[in-house]
Structure 1
Amino acid sequence: MGHENGADCVYEARTSEELGRYLIAARDLAPGDLVLTERPLVFGPKATLDPEATVPCVGCYKPVLTDAGERCAKCGWPVCSGNCPGLSDPRHHGAECAILRMRPECVLDNMAEYYRHDALLPLRCALLQTTDPERWKKLSEMQSHMECRSPGTDAYDEANEFIVEYLMNNFINKLDDETKNKHLPEISADLLHVFCGIIDTNALEIRLMEGTELLALYTNTCIMEHSCIPNTKHTFSHSTKDRNDLYRITVKVVVPVLKGSHITTMYSHALWGTQARRQHLEDTKYFACRCERCADPTELGTYVSAMKCLGDGNNLCDGIHLAEDPLDDETDWACDKCGVKVNNSQVNMIISQMGEEVEAVQMMGGTITMLENLLCRLSTFLHPNHYHLYSIKHSLIQLYGRQPDYTSEEILDRKINMCKDLIEITKKLDPGNARLSLYSAVLQHELHSALVLKTTIPNSDGSVKPVDVVKLLIVEAKSAIDTALDSLKDDMEELSGKKLFSVILESKKHFKRYCKDKNLVV
């Protein structure tokens, strides 16, 4: 295997009974080195959050208004325009239209049930057998984990109800023999289930500039092994001269990788604790992660899963509870000082309840008071670095210094310390900005804003801050905003990255004007 552009291959493919297929470095690799780049085998839209309001065009995936959008003249599915180039392109809507037109009537109500956009990718997988036999062959070699998706499992039953029966009953079973032989010579409910397994196991998520999300399958990228401290980052091309390069993936090294070392990516959230990550991977990818972070009770010294010890009921204790064996799903949690133990089911229940509270407050657009009260209450039970507290603090720092009554030097110092604490955790969990680049950028930007604002606040006695103090704050602020912009250098093709970069760049312009007005040379 090699790059599609013919460059020397920097990796070798290996196989083991434990890991299946995986990649190792063929030579020492440095940050920025290209690992691979390839076009997707097949891609398709995910379901939107509010299909009654907007749905993706089946030709180009731009959001279209559900009740006012145009429809494909042949199959009736929502489109941005009858002239959308994707409607005739077999990689998009061109091939599937012949199948979808088996149900030509249109509706405006119950859009989520009637137009199931998440069923399009499995259908496009099936259509590869006639639209691109070479890609069909590569797709057929991908892992589906059907041994874990038998009837009665949640994965099988969900796919059966929302994807397989939907496609079979509404479209495929209505095909005449000529159309079926032309487009889907091999098709069955079982085959569609295999495609659902392949997608769940291997697909990568692509967020488009307009906000729509796609899923895509890649031949070589899917071989990369998971690690909760990945050494690569991948990006997707969204605007290209060659339409065949649309959604091409590029995988680059983000930290040094020695020859023979495994080349890794991440299929979970870097800010989840070990039990949450491992459970997610077992449920969706069907393997138990045993990486360095998962095996370390302290999670690389961050303690993002640790809990405080409350003692034995008679004596208080200031120790912390850590999982005795993080790789054992039933492990006890033991205090590092007094030896008190808590069983895993109790910990899971407590952490789950706290997570629901955090999510509820943030979904309501939590105020500073709400967030501070929750932070205070949960801090009684959790280590200061716990990922639930990280989430609350990350919200608070974006409010401190930006709302009336929260701009005092005391508040700014609190914000600065929070930023620095979270930056340290983030760097340990993701030293190469592979997964947490947006979090890092926000933290550095908020640190910058707090430092600059602090220079404008008089001392407690009303006097102006000395020039040397101001200079130190300004130098640190410049470093923070430069780091924020640099952390987003690989996120400019995504809407969230581009918007955040624009906001931070505007802050840097204001910062330069401020320094000029104050005659500060940095």
Structure 2
Amino acid sequence: MGQNDNSTTPYKVASSDELGRYMVATRDLLPGDLVLTERPLVFAPKAMLDPEAQMPCVGCYKPVFTDIGERCAKCGWPVCSGNCPGLVDPRHHGVECAVLSTRPDCVLDNMADYYRHDALLPLRCILLQNTEPEKWKSVLDMQSHMECRGPGTEAYEEANEFIVEYLLENFINKLDKNIKNKYLTDISKELIHRICGIIDTNALEIRLPEGAELQALYANTCILEHSCIPNTKHTFNQSSADKNDSYKITVKVVIPIMKDEHITTMYSHALWGTEARRQHLKDTKYFSCKCPRCSDPTELGTYLSAMKCFGDGNKSCDGVHLPQNPLDDDTEWACSECPVKVNNSQINMLISQMGEEVDGVLMMGGSVPMLENLLCRLSTFLHPNHYHLYSLKHSLVQLYGRQPSYMSEEILDKKIKMCKDLIQITTTLDPGNARLSLYSSVLQHELHSALILKAKKVKSDGSFKTAEEIKSLLLEAKVCIERALEVLKDDMEETSGRKLYDVIEESKKDFEKYCKEKGISL
């Protein structure tokens, strides 16, 4: 906890026509200070990546193989075991089972269409109206943006097909009158659409250790305003002794917040360029971000979206293309050195095509030659710090120095420079490690390993480097490994964070052992 911690509530809720409800600090807040902690109002599993192969148990969310897994004795949905405690727990499957039981048949074909797990959270929300009226009221207080999700919109049609009609036709319309009166006194197509809007706007995703994901709604956390430079970080409790604390969220300060400043989180990806972030926020959250990062053509000096000058067809130019007004969807991109301008739609088309290439190579688990080839080609058009190149470089630094063909001193120097460049970008975009802590930790760890390998390299005459010659490399490596562990301090509840921490801790032990063997004190 920070030094400013005391009993007064660190925030108050304000509102405006532009932002709706938002939080402001009631006092100066320091990194580590607690903003809030709360239990979810409601949560439910999402569909898994390959639902024909695996689905989450509706009682505990552990992945189960759909073709051989057990089924709930009452409703037929896939479960880990007929004895799973969550099947009777009202916070999990206990209440919804009465509704889902109106269609008790089991199928083995078209499983993803038959068992739509993404429809469970809307159903669990609606069931709160009679089982937990206070929670239901809190859910209805949330923003739904129905004014932007009317008939004819993509959001409406998608929700209508996959959730609203699915729930009504398969379950709700077939309910026994007594069950309907007991649980669903107020139910309509419009209400389910409104709940879908509330979920799309406010739900947070929770990755579980076994691989499934949940969506959850939080009464107070949903008030946090978006910024592409967030000043808080949130984590989820997944290992509490008290089962009622499952998925409790904790929001902490990561960048100093002065009294009356807005308290913010981030709804988008920190390593997307401005155009991609703003479009995602418009499509999913129905607002246009105007934060300091989005307003700055250089994205805080990182040039994460910048293009190299296209030239005028006659001669090349060393300038950089940046949007003249990044908050204008129709802005032109102007060169910093010559008069050439390019319209936004041309830039977007190019970036989209390049993004598909990058995604394709990364999805195939790109080899070093594949990654280097694409990096070389895209570098003709993109600023060295462009986010597409960042993705390729982040993959490359995890391969350099780890394969026999890529262990030369030249490659290690290349890796060291690449790591330092990426660390600079990452730290600028996310100074509080709110969103990019795993990226940052991996980069510090890879920089550490490259420095150690360089220290161990024999000299051109075949002799080993002396302790004095490698001490500066080892000092730098020591700082890197300590930073790699430090940035993960708030990620220990996440499986990925815990695993990465354990790997880096082993590297630290190996490093300390090496220093001891060499008789080097740092």
Same-fold call, TM > 0.5? yes
1:449 is aligned to 449
CA contact (8 A) 1:205 1:215 kept: yes
Q: Percent identity?
A: 73
CA–CA distance in structure 2, aligned partners of residues 322 and 462 of structure 1: 49
Tell whether the 8 Å contact from 2:43 to 2:217 is kept in structure 1 after alignment.
Answer: yes
TM-score by length of 1: 0.98
| 1:7 CA drift (Å) | 4.6
1:467-506 aligned at under 5 Å gives the runs 467-506=467-506
Change (3 A) 1:22 1:102: same
1:407 aligned partner: 407
Contact residue 467 and residue 520 of structure 2 kept, 8 A: no
**1:366 is the counterpart of 2:366:** yes
Contact 1:72 1:78 in 2 (8 A): yes
Offset of residue 468 of structure 1: 2.2
User: In the alignment, what sits opposite 2:317?
Assistant: 317
**1:267-416 superposed matches below 5 A:** 267-416=267-416
Q: Deviations over 1:164-200 (max 9, x none)?
A: 1110000001002111010111111111111100000
Which residue does 1:11 correspond to in 2? 11
Alignment check: 8 A CA contact 2:72 2:79 kept: yes
Paired letter, 1:470: I
Give the letter for the 1:346 counterpart: Q
Looking at structure 1, the residues matched to 58 and 494 of structure 2 have their Cα atoms a distance apart, in angstroms, of 20
- The AA in structure 2 aligned to 1:149 is R
What is the match of residue 127 of structure 1?
127
The answer to whether the 8 A contact 1:211-1:495 is kept is: no
Aligned match of 2:509: 509
1:249-260 alignment runs, 5 A limit? 249-260=249-260
Once the two structures are TM-superposed, the CA of residue 510 in structure 1 deviates from its matched residue by 1.3
CA contact (8 A) 2:308 2:318 kept: yes
Deviation at 1:321, TM superposition (A): 0.3
Asked if the contact 2:303/2:386 (under 8 Å) is kept, the reply is yes
TM superposition shift of 1:54: 1.1
- Rounded to whole Å, the distance in 1 between the matches of 2:332 and 2:466 is 54
Q: Which amino acid aligns with 2:475?
A: V
Letter in 2 for 1:220: N
3-state SS of 1:216 partner: strand
Pairs within 5 Å for 1:163-202: 163-202=163-202
After superposition, give the CA deviation of every residue in 1:393-442 in whole Å (9 maximum; x if it has no partner): 00000000001110001000000000000000000000000000000010
> 1:455-478: per-residue Cα shift (whole Å, max 9, x none)?
111123333223223111111111
8 Å contact kept, 1:41–1:216:
yes
Distance 1:68 1:138 in 2: 39
Q: Name the SS of the counterpart of 1:211 in structure 2.
A: coil
| Aligned counterparts, 1:60-79, within 5 A | 60-79=60-79
Structure 1: distance between partners of 2:310 and 2:121: 50
Counterpart for residue 3 of structure 2: none
1:80 paired residue number: 80
Say if 1:419 and 1:443, in contact at 8 Å, map to a contact too: yes
The answer to whether the 8 A contact 2:229-2:429 is kept is yes
CA distance in 2, matches of 1:193, 1:515: 62
Q: Secondary structure at the match of 2:136?
A: helix
Secondary structure of residue in 1 paired with 2:355: helix
Distance 1:7 1:246 in 2: 25
Per-residue CA shift, 1:329-367, capped at 9, x if unaligned?
Answer: 110000011021000000000000000000000111111
Deviation at 1:501, TM superposition (A): 1.0
Other-structure match for 1:95 = 95
In the other structure, the counterpart of 1:39 is 39
Give 3-state SS (helix, strand or coil) of 1:44's partner.
Answer: strand
Instruction: Report the equivalent of 2:115.
Output: 115
Match of 1:149 in 2: 149
C-alpha separation between the residues in 1 aligned to 2:265 and 2:423? 21
How far is 1:508 from its partner?
1.1
8 Å Cα contact 2:309-2:317 kept in structure 1: yes
1:210 and 2:188 correspond: no
Task: Please tell me whether residue 224 in structure 1 is matched to residue 224 in structure 2.
Answer: yes
Residue 386 of structure 1 aligns with an amino acid whose one-letter code is H
SS at match of 2:483: helix
The answer to whether the 8 Å contact 2:11/2:26 transfers is yes
SS at 1:76 equivalent: coil
Q: Is the 8 A contact 1:400 1:411 kept in 2?
A: yes
Whether contact under 8 Å (1:209, 1:493) holds in the other structure is: no
Flag structure 1 segments of 5+ consecutive residues without an equivalent: 1-5
Distance, in Å, in 2 between the alignment partners of 1:492 and 1:339 is 51
Q: Deviations over 1:473-502 (max 9, x none)?
A: 111111111111111111111111111111
SS of the equivalent of 1:181 reads: helix
Paired AA for residue 106 in structure 1 = C
- The 8 Å contact of residues 400 and 415 in structure 2, kept in 1 or not, is answered as yes
State whether residues 467 and 518 of structure 2, in contact with CA within 8 Å, keep that contact through their aligned partners in structure 1.
no
Q: Which amino acid letter does the alignment assign opposite residue 135 of structure 2?
A: R
Segment of structure 1 superposing worse, 280-289 or 240-249: 240-249
The worse-fitting range, judged by mean Cα deviation, of 241-250 and 389-398 is: 241-250
Q: SS of the residue aligned with 1:338?
A: coil
Which 10-residue stretch deviates more, 51-60 or 418-427?
51-60
Partner of 2:56: 56
- Worse-superposed segment, 512-521 or 256-265: 512-521
Provide the rounded CA distance (Å) in 2 between the counterparts of 1:70 and 1:519: 59
CA distance in 1, matches of 2:144, 2:393: 39
The number of equivalent residue pairs is 517
Q: Partners of 1:7 and 1:440 in 2: how far apart? A: 33
Distance 2:345 2:310 in 1: 17
Structure 2 residue matching 1:48: 3-state secondary structure: coil
One-letter amino acid of the counterpart of residue 196, structure 1: C
| AA partner of residue 448 (structure 1) | H
- In structure 2, what residue type is equivalent to 1:319? G
Moved more, 168-177 or 277-286: 168-177
- 1:239 CA drift (Å): 1.4
Amino acid at match of 1:246: S
Please tell me whether the aligned partners of residues 306 and 321 of structure 1 are also in contact (alpha carbons under 8 angstroms).
Answer: yes
Residue of structure 2 equivalent to 1:3: none
Q: Answer yes or no: is the 8 Å Cα contact 1:76–1:104 preserved in 2.
A: yes
